[in-house]
Structure 1
Amino acid sequence: MGDARQAWGRVTAWLENHAPEVSAALGGPGSPAAIYDAELRMGLQLPEQLRQWLLGHDIDAGRQPPAGSCLVALGCPGVLPSGGLLLGLLDIERVYLHKMAMEELTRSGSTDYPSWRSEWVPIASERDGFYGAFVNTISGAVGSWSEGSLPAEREYASLFAFFQDVADQLEGVSSCAWDGPGRARKCDPGPGDDPVRLWARANGYLVNDRGRIPAAIREAYEASR
C-alpha cells in the first residue's frame, strides 16, 4: 500500500523549495487527543494513513475559525495542483458533519446512489463544500465529489497513491492531461481556460486540468475582474 507519510514528504519537500509561504501554512503536529475527540463527534474511526498524516501536519492545530466564515474556514490553498483547499482536522469535521446533514435532508427512498456515505471523510474541498476529495474509512481509497454529479468512489487506491500523484504533479507533470490516476500524457492546455483555472486554484476552488469549468466558477471569476 505504501506509507502516506513518505509520499507527503515529497510534497512538503517541493513546497519548502518552491512555495515556502504555502509550506509555512501547513501547520505543526496534530494532537492524538484532538483526533480522538473529532472521531467521537463524527462517529467513526479515521484510517491509519489519515491519522498518521494529521499527526504530522494538522493545518488547523491551535486555530479557530473566524466568525461568519465559509464551511471550509481554515483550509490551505496552493498545495493541490488540481485546486481546492487541503483540510485540517477542524475543517474535516465541519465538512463531514455538513455533508452528512445534507444527505439526511435530501435522501430519497433508494440507498444505491447516495450523495454522501458515512464512511467518507473529506480531505480537500473548495470553500463551500461543493467539490472535494474524500478518504473511504473502510477501503482506504480516495474518491471525489462534485455538486450535481455522482461521486467517484475510487480514484486512488489509498492516501499514499493520492499524495504520490500530488507530488508527481508538483514535480513537473501538472501541465499534462490525465488518462487516469497516476498516468499522464503531454498535451497543450486550452488557452482560453488557463486564466480561469489559475484564478480558481489560487482562490480555493477545485478545478480539473481539462474538461468543462463549472459555471459557478466562471461567474465568480468574471465577478472578480
Structure 2
Amino acid sequence: MSETPMHEAGDVREAWGRVTAWLERNDPEALAALGGPGSPEAIDEAELHIGLKLPREMRQWLLANDIDAGRQPDRPSCLVALGYEVAIPGGHLLLGLTDIQRVYLSQMALEEMQPSEDLDCPFWRREWVPFAAERDGLYGTFLDTLNGTIGMWAEAHGPEEGVYASLFAFFQETADRLEGVSSGDWRGPGKSSSPRKHDPRPEDEPIRLWARTNGYLVNDRGRIPATIREAYEVSRR
C-alpha cells in the first residue's frame, strides 16, 4: 500500500469547488459540459440498483455535479458511456451516476464469474464504488465505502488501496494540479499521464466479435469472462 497523500479530511464540496472555479476561469466550455446538480432521488435509485449505500462524501459530490445528469449514453459499445475529461490523478474519466452503476456492476460480475484466488487481495470488493475509469473499465479509481479511502485498479496488476485518504484529498490534488499548470494547458502538456495500455490478444478478437453480435457486454481489452468463453465454444460445436 502506498503512502497516503496529504489533505486527509475536509468538505468535498470545498475541494470540488476549487476544480470548478478553475474551469470557470480557464475553460468555460469544459465547465458547461460538466453537467448540472444531481438529484437525491437519482442517487437513491442508483443505490438500490447496485445494492450499496453511497458515503456522505460521494453523495455531496454527486449532488454538486452529476456528470450524467440530463445526458443519454451515445457509446453503446463502451462500458463508460459518458465520462468527463479533466486532469485528475490517474488520468481517467470522471464518472456520473449512469457510468458508476455500469462499471460497478461490470466489476462485480467479473469477480463473481472469475473469483480471485487470493481472498485477501481480490480483483474487486463489493464495498468499492468506482468514480473514474477508462472507457473499457480496465483501469480506474474507486472509493472504499468502509473507510472512505481512495484506491485504483488496473487489469494488469490488480488494485492498490489507500492511495488517497478521502475523496476530499483526491479532489484537492486535482485542484492543485490544475492550478499548477498554465491557463488552458490542462488538455496538453499539463495533463496527467495516461495509464498503461495493453493490446488485445489477437486470438480473443473472434470471441469479442461473437459476444457483441450475441448481446454480451465485453471490453475491448483485458480478460474475457469464462462464461462468455464457454458460450462461444458451445456455439462452435
**Into which bin does the TM-score normalised by the smaller protein fall?**
0.7 to 0.9
Give 1:17 shift.
Answer: 1.1
Aligned to 1:141: 149
Residues 7 and 113 of structure 1, relative CA distance in 2, 3 Å threshold: same
Residue type at the aligned position of 2:40: P
Map Cα deviations across residues 74-132 of structure 1 (whole Å, 9 max, x no partner). Answer: 10113426422110011001000000001111114541111110000001001000111
Partner of 2:64: 56
**How many Å separate the matches in 1 of 2:144 and 2:86?**
24
The answer for the alignment partner of 2:168 in structure 1 is 160
* Greater Rg over alpha carbons, structure: 2
Q: State whether structure 2 residue 112 is matched by structure 1 residue 129.
A: no
Measured on the aligned residues, the alpha-carbon RMSD in Å equals 2.4
Query: 2:30 corresponds to which residue?
Result: 22
1:1-225 to 2 correspondences below 5 Å: 1-66=9-74, 68-80=76-88, 82-172=90-180, 207=194, 213-216=196-199
Say which SS state the counterpart of residue 133 (structure 1) adopts: strand
Q: Distance in 2 between matches of 1:22 and 1:81?
A: 18
> Using the alignment, how far apart are the partners of 1:79 and 1:21 within structure 2?
15
Contact 2:150 2:161 (C-alpha < 8 Å) held by counterparts = yes
Evaluate the alpha carbon distance shift between residue 159 and residue 67 of structure 1 in structure 2; reply closer, same or farther with a 3 A threshold: closer
Unaligned runs of 5+ in 1: 175-196, 218-225
Q: Deviations over 1:2-58 (max 9, x none)?
A: 000000011111111112221111111101111001101111100101001101100
Q: 1 CA distance for matches of 2:43 and 2:54?
A: 8
- Higher relative contact order at CA 8 Å, sep ≥6: structure 1 or structure 2? 2
Which aligned segments of 4 or more residues in structure 1 are displaced greater than 3 angstroms? 213-217
CA distance in 1, matches of 2:26, 2:125: 37
Q: Provide the secondary structure at the position in 2 that maps to 1:92.
A: helix
Q: Does the aligned pair in 2 maintain the 1:79–1:86 contact within 8 Å?
A: no
Task: Indicate the SS of the match to 1:214.
Answer: coil
Distance in 1 of aligned mates of 2:197 and 2:58: 29
Percent identical pairs in the alignment equals: 59
Gaps of 5+ in 2: 1-8, 201-237
Alpha-carbon distance between aligned partners in 2 of 1:149 and 1:169, rounded to the nearest angstrom: 26
Partner letter of residue 43 of structure 2?
I
Counterpart amino acid of 1:143? G
